[in-house]
A and B are shown apart, each in its own frame.
Chain A
């Protein structure tokens, strides 16, 4: 019957992109866009290789190379060297019907013909005249599975294909309960399972920690003596209290976080509506939400004010430091000027003293018959200068002024 098999071509299409490869292919053969082995490889002007479909999609969005962002147009894309195409086409792939049971693998360029003509698990048209159902190729020579047959139990019409799954649910058939192994009619089974007396269940207080398990029918014996069940009302109460406390704790922590801001706020912006408002609101619990936000605003306002004050103080400090420096500079400059003047003066006075000495000496040497008064004055000066060095300068200076 082989001819009838191969004569029926499968219409199943093969998505090359979804194929699984026998060995993981070399990274050099992967398309940078879809990360699968290249399909119909093309090459760009910048010598990058892509799947033809991938690069077209990419160029639709942006006229740049997806790898190096160089300008690229559709005209810059040419088929890749035939060697690359051969390398990817020869990669061994697994049959796309592997999950249905086909264990074949073949070179990628052969996979389409495998599915179309050979694969036993590809779907082909049913062999029966007039039936347009589909069947796996390996089953094509068996009887048509699309005919309706009657279920021998419920007398319902079921396709042969679906008979197996129907028998699992047929309302006239019974299945075993997984717990007590009693047979039940299919529609009743789920009702029974919900309270099968043989099912092993946990103690009703298991969530409080009771480790006891027993069949459902015996659980009453246990509940009478179970300490956990006796404690259940109290434990319940505690659980509820813990939940409320946790909630409270959470809100308190949130408020605390507001009061100790974790970060300086960049924009005080809409700032603090009225702080008075927020204090009048605090009474009712329904307004907690906007109270929190108001508190937040208020805290931020305070915080920004504090920041402002701090920057003010910093500015003032800087100004004071600047003034200090200026004053120091002025004082030093003035001192220098005084020093200069003083040395200048000292030099001038020295010069004058020399002159005076010279004058006095020349006057003494020269014969002066009629100038006793002046000579006497000069003599006095000479005596003074010899007795007291410290006063000499000022004395001689005074003499100059008199002269």
Chain B
């Protein structure tokens, strides 16, 4: 299967040159298609000090179909759905934007970037996005609170 080989290669590459603030790898030794990801939030963001776990699900059709990324740690963020799915909406993962040449490392880097700076124009939680735009102080307060409560 082509996907397995490519994922294996990406994994080796990822282990050789890890990204700052991101650790990731298959959840079990037997299944390369489900990864656990741990993001450490950047100090400059209201999530500072938080440790967020995510799940990366890679479809069998990878790299022709995009992987999906979801937060298992609750997070107050315009781009993460506020339900038990915690799915992250990432522009490059949409089927109309996905490019098979895109690597998992790039996807994870993008996700880590969203912690630093949410993309309010592409929000799933429009309420939080509005708050981020119009009342940043309140947004940062709630985000910090949730981080303290769920991500420590």
Residues of A in contact with B (beta carbons under 8 Å apart): 17-18, 32-36, 54, 57-58, 61-62, 66-69, 262-263, 266
Tell me whether A66 and B101 are in contact (CB under 8 A): yes
Known: A35-B6, A35-B9. A67 touches B149 (CB 8 A): no
Known: A69-B99, A263-B82. A58 touches B5 (CB 8 A): no
* A66–B142 CA distance with the chains assembled, in angstroms: 40
Tell me, rounded to whole Å, the shortest Cβ–Cβ distance linking B147 to chain A: 12
Q: Does B100 contact A (CB under 8 A)?
A: yes
Chain A facing B: main interface SS: loop
Chain B residue contacts of A67, Cβ below 8 A:
99, 101
Can you offer 13 A-B residue contacts whose CB atoms are under 8 A? A17-B2, A17-B5, A32-B101, A33-B6, A34-B9, A35-B103, A57-B64, A61-B61, A66-B101, A67-B99, A262-B146, A263-B76, A266-B127
Tell me whether A66 and B5 are in contact (CB under 8 A): no
Total contacting residues, chain B, CB less than 8 A = 22
Residue of A whose beta carbon sits closest to that of B126: A266
Tell me, rounded to whole Å, the shortest Cβ–Cβ distance linking B41 to chain A: 18
* A148–B5 CA distance with the chains assembled, in angstroms: 40
* A66–B103 CA distance with the chains assembled, in angstroms: 12
Chain B residue contacts of A69, Cβ below 8 A:
97, 99
Chain A residue contacts of B64, Cβ below 8 A:
57-58, 61-62
* A62–B98 CA distance with the chains assembled, in angstroms: 11
Tell me, rounded to whole Å, the shortest Cβ–Cβ distance linking A39 to chain B: 11
Residue of A whose beta carbon sits closest to that of B127: A266
* A54–B5 CA distance with the chains assembled, in angstroms: 13
* A57–B61 CA distance with the chains assembled, in angstroms: 10
Excluding A32-B101, A34-B2, A67-B101, 12 further A-B contacts by CB distance (< 8 Å) are: A33-B63, A33-B100, A54-B2, A57-B2, A62-B64, A66-B63, A66-B100, A262-B145, A262-B146, A262-B149, A263-B82, A263-B142
* A263–B5 CA distance with the chains assembled, in angstroms: 43
Q: Does B10 contact A (CB under 8 A)?
A: yes
* A54–B2 CA distance with the chains assembled, in angstroms: 9
Instruction: Mark contacts of B86-121 with chain A using CB atoms, 8 A cut-off: 1 yes-contact digit, 0 otherwise.
Output: 000000000001011101000000000000000000
Chain B residue contacts of A34, Cβ below 8 A:
2, 5-6, 9
Tell me whether B5 and A36 are in contact (CB under 8 A): yes
* A263–B127 CA distance with the chains assembled, in angstroms: 12
Tell me, rounded to whole Å, the shortest Cβ–Cβ distance linking A58 to chain B: 6
